[in-house]
Structure 1
């Protein structure tokens, strides 16, 4: 088969699309023909190299993909050949106290397909059956292959960790990205008043289409000052921030007293000043969030499959153009998800 792969960490020039040994489904695994997958910022960090993660090389990236089951390994009963499936990339042990309590995303050995182990951006992939979800007939492959990671992440952030309620105000930073545009839709669906930041008029327009009530160009405006003006100096109840060091101080500043900042990542750096004086004086909560539990995945994907939530696709490329796909993510070009398909699917 052919697969996107790299044999060493580095810039986009380490990416290749070439021959790779065909996978075989082990016990408990499912082999599927990949019809479409999508990139996430995680793929960029994995390619560059993440501290503490020693990957088997060559590495196939990719945490999102969907396709048709070709074969199943021993002990697999949930799926059979011909089924349509999508990957849910979080792998848990199923045995620790967190798994037993239904909090698999807090598993003591939690890891992610495509980040810690080989991913699914290839013509075929074999993954544990527990990491696949059924896809209804008629769902477009680009949709099925691009929603799981970002929508489950945004769903847990807002519904579980921040516990948003109708009538609350929510600020989503980086609304043009995968998690950002999912968070705008989820907050709007929850009945919240949604504020969103992006860097161009086109991206701001897309954010409004996703459900944002107010949009802020963070390139030309101080978003914390804009939030103060738009809310009569009150601030918002919740800030969704996956940007990190560059935005964290103003995220805290944007919160109302008793507000919650929820974060799932730090693309501009993980170590901002703590801002403890603002946190304790305004009685703020800073909440971390990673991926989602299987039940949360099922809840949010049901709303994708029925059309309530819609991933925006900025571009669909053949896997042989993976370096360009990475470039789109790195340069923040466009709005929404970047989809890749095996060249044989074009």
Structure 2
């Protein structure tokens, strides 16, 4: 019999039947293919519908399995993988995008099967990041439809692959990231190396570390040369944003003197709460003049710009000290669209180093994938810094687990009305 991969829920069904495969003019017999992808459960007939393309004809090949067990999950998996028996639902809710550009909708998804390095997590909170509203409009990553966004989370471990059982156990409270999204949901599968125990970090705050914090950490600590700037000035443009407010705090932890800029009352208040060395209100003050006055006309030894805006990039380039360092975020295409390439000559003309930081390359570039452990260390460091009182995410809004609410949050983000600190979605 082909492998069964799914969950049983109905104790009244006490028989199992394997129905004949869907017939096709060119296929008259069961090919014996191994079915490991359960796509849906028909609750009306208490049966699983399992689909796979026939290996010879490339056509849908369907088996229906009526499951006999009560509640415990059943997973037959590759011999190299092991799963634990726990009680889980057959399906769960997710906030999905049917087609790019369409509104968010509530859908049901099947509980996922695990590979040996997978961890199944019941999500408490997920956070909204800069890329989420954009991906809702344009599916540049070609996610299979319908797709679920959300790339970082906090939650509880409820299932483990064979290679994960020493590092984690069912019931562990964790935080992490999912490279394929899917976190605006009640459950997600993430790779072992992208998850850490959350310690004393509250669940809402823990959900913000996987992308925004990790972007700041990677760009400053791993790619940038923050150590060499200890005791010197750093200018953080967009210091009240999701990435920016983490960057400002990390810079303080490394002993830099931090000046940040903002233009809205809420943003300025956040920067004051973070106790930066100096705060510039760019709606009333000249940023370049302020930075030059603070640094004795030298400029900031380290400039960090996470705004993705042409005007800010140009302004930041002017305040880099000679021989200093300028860190910009994003892929080459993103930065080119924002006009950052226009400022590279300015930075280089000052004898400064331009540093490119792109967290996404750790998902797509084998050279960087080999360094994933360093990102995991960064997540562990975040927990340690929080527990010692030195790094605190600023959560400015909590969105309920509702399609209209998430759609509204995306719209507000694009309009710039909720881009102070972090906005999280309560998924539990």
TM-score with structure 1 setting the length: 0.84
State the distance in 2 between where 1:282 and 1:174 align.
Answer: 23
Shift, 1:283, TM fit: 0.4
Aligned residue number for residue 278 of structure 1 = 346
Shift, 1:48, TM fit: 2.0
Q: Secondary structure at the match of 1:204?
A: helix
Matched, 1:156 2:218: yes
Is residue 2:369 matched to residue 1:293? no
What residue in structure 1 maps to residue 180 of structure 2? Answer: 113
CA distance in 1, matches of 2:303, 2:173: 36
Query: Does structure 1 retain, via aligned residues, the 8 Å contact 2:100–2:138?
Result: yes
Q: Which of 160, 174, 177 is equivalent to 1:88?
A: 177
2:255 is paired with a residue of what secondary structure? coil
Partners of 1:146 and 1:273 in 2: how far apart? 30
CA RMSD of aligned residues (A): 2.1
Structure 2 CA distance for partners of 1:135 and 1:234, relative to 1, 3 Å: same
For residues 139 and 301 of structure 2, what CA distance do their matches in structure 1 show?
A: 33
Q: Kindly provide the CA deviation profile for residues 128-157 of structure 1, in whole angstroms up to 9, marking residues without a partner as x.
A: 222211122x43110111223222211222
Name the structure 1 match of 2:99.
8
User: 1:277 Cα deviation (Å)?
Assistant: 4.4
- Structure 2 residue aligned with 1:43: 132
Measured in 2, the distance between the counterparts of 1:175 and 1:123 equals 32
Note the residue ranges of structure 2 that are not aligned, 5 or more in a row. Answer: 1-91, 360-373
3-state DSSP of counterpart to 2:393? coil
2:29 is matched with none
Q: Match for 2:319 among 232, 235, 254?
A: 254
Hey, what's the Cα distance between the residues in 1 that align with 2:340 and 2:197?
A: 40
Q: Is the deviation greater in 203-212 or in 34-43? A: 203-212
State the SS of the aligned residue for 2:162.
Answer: coil
SS where residue 183 of structure 2 aligns? coil
2:423 counterpart of 1:338: yes
Contact 1:64/1:147 (CA < 8 Å) preserved in 2? Answer: yes
Q: Distance in 1 between matches of 2:169 and 2:121?
A: 10
Q: 1:305 to 1:148 in 2, by over 3 A?
A: farther
The residue number in structure 2 matching 1:22 is: 111
Deviation of the 1:88 alpha carbon:
3.1
Deviation at 1:213, TM superposition (A): 1.5
CA distance in 2: counterparts of 1:296 and 1:313, whole angstroms: 20
Helix, strand or coil for the counterpart of 2:225?
coil
Per the normalisation by structure 2, the TM-score is 0.68
Contact 1:4 1:60 in 2 (8 A): yes
Partner of residue 194, structure 1? 258
Shift of 1:256: 0.9
Q: Partners in 2 of 1:276 and 1:333 — Cα distance?
A: 30
Per-residue CA distance 1:253-301 (angstroms, 9 max, x = gap)? 0111111111123589343343354333310111011336333332233
- Relative to 1, partners in 2 of residues 1:76 and 1:247: Cα closer, same or farther, differing over 3 Å? same
Instruction: Give 1:304's match in structure 2, choosing from 386, 411, 416.
Output: 386
Any gaps of 5 or more consecutive residues in structure 1? 90-111
C-alpha contact 2:320 2:347 (8 A) present in aligned 1 = no
CA displacement, residues 302-329 of structure 1 (integer Å, 9 cap, x when unaligned)? 2134432000100112120211222342
Report if aligned partners of 1:2, 1:123 keep a CA contact under 8 Å in 2. yes
Greater Rg, structure 1 or structure 2?
A: 2
Give the Cα–Cα distance (whole angstroms) in 2 for the partners of residues 192 and 216 of structure 1: 17
Match of 2:205 in 1: 143
Helix, strand or coil: the match of 1:257?
A: strand
Note closer, same or farther for the CA distance 1:217–1:268 as it changes in structure 2 (3 Å cut).
Answer: farther
Aligned residue in 2 for 1:122: 185
The secondary structure found in structure 1 opposite 2:164 is coil
Match of 2:248 in 1: 184
Q: Contact between 2:329 and 2:335, CA under 8 Å: does it hold in 1?
A: no
